[in-house]
Amino acid sequence: MKVLIIFALLCVALSARAAAVPVESDAVAVEETKSAPEEAVEVEAPAAEEKLSDAPGVFSEDENAAVEVAAAPKEKAARRFCPDGWFSYQSKCYMFVNTPRSWFGAEEHCNELGASLASASSSPEYRYLQQITRTANRATAWIGGFYLQGTWMWIDRSGMYYTNWYSQSTATSNSCMYLQSAVGQGWRNCGCGGQLPFICVHNYRC
């Protein structure tokens, strides 16, 4: 009788143990199912970082390099200046040379300085040339106008669209131009061998 009872208990115990095994496997399956969203979140995170460069005001490393290159010309432009002894006016540098020379000697001296005799393309520019001549206590100064083959032109090759003659002598024998510093007086012409102070000009340099 005891043997039957023991056998019955063993059967019950074995059947209960066998029934418990699927429960554990189900629990594992639930845990695996719960962990799946966490893995999905980890996969999605890099995609958000990749879109960061698309946000306004945010640049990738390549874009930052392009911005730095684009900014370089602006920084370089900010360094433009006139050397010591030169006056700045309308993106140009001017120097008044008080030592009298012939017109050709004056142009040669300006060339040695990387410049040329000054031209006047407008009334304000001519008045500025008069002003720096008066500042040097001079009444006259060579400028870059000259007569060649029936035409008056500027030595710096700019067009002579503005004219301000005070009086004009025979151009064939008086083919070089000088300014008069008195207010209201225009330029005149005379022989190129005359000895006068002069004004040199060059564009801004970096």
11: pLDDT strictly greater than 70? no
Q: Given this model, what pLDDT does residue 204 score?
A: 87
Last residue of one domain, picked from the residues 54, 78, 102: 78
* pLDDT value, residue 206: 66
Domain span including residue 70: 2-78
pLDDT at 52 over 80: no
Phi, psi of 37 (to 5 degrees): -60, -35
How far apart are alpha carbons 186 and 123 in whole angstroms?
Answer: 10
For the ranges 7-11, 49-53, 127-131, 156-160, which has the lowest average pLDDT? 49-53
Last residue of a domain, one of 78, 110, 130: 78
pLDDT higher than threshold 70 for residue 31? no
The reported pLDDT for the residue numbered 80 is 63
Task: Give CA–CA dist 145/191, Å, rounded.
Answer: 12
CA distances from 124 to 48, 90, 120, 162 (A): 61, 10, 8, 11
Q: Which of 78, 110, 135 marks a domain boundary? A: 78
Q: In terms of DSSP H, where are the helices of the chain?
A: 2-50, 61-78, 103-112, 123-135
Which has more pLDDT, 55 or 114?
Answer: 114
- Whole-number mean pLDDT of the chain? 75
- Stretch 29-50: mean pLDDT: 41
Query: pLDDT tens for residues 106-141?
Result: 999 999 999 999 999 999 999 999 999 999 999 999
Verify that 16 and 45 share a domain, yes or no.
yes
Distance, CA of 67 to chain centre: 12
Exposure of 39 by Cβ count < 10 A (0-12 exposed, 13-18 middle, 19+ buried)? Answer: exposed
Same domain, 22 and 61: yes
Would the pTM of this model clear 0.85, i.e. be above it?
A: no
* Predicted local distance difference test score (pLDDT) of residue 78: 39
> What's residue 181's pLDDT?
97
Task: Tell me: do 69 and 94 sit in the same domain.
Answer: no
Residue 100 and residue 175 in one domain: yes
The rounded distance, in Å, linking the Cα atoms of 118 and 13 is: 117
**Distance, CA of 88 to CA of 135 (rounded, Å):** 15
Q: Closest Cα partner for 180 from 203, 197, 193, 192?
A: 197
41 and 126 in a single domain? The answer is no
Q: What is the pLDDT of residues 71-101, one digit of tens each?
A: 344 434 434 689 999 999 999 999 999 999 9
Examine the pLDDT at 178 and tell me if it is beyond 70. Answer: yes
Domain count, the chain: 2
- Nearest one of 194, 205, 3 to 105, comparing CA atoms: 194
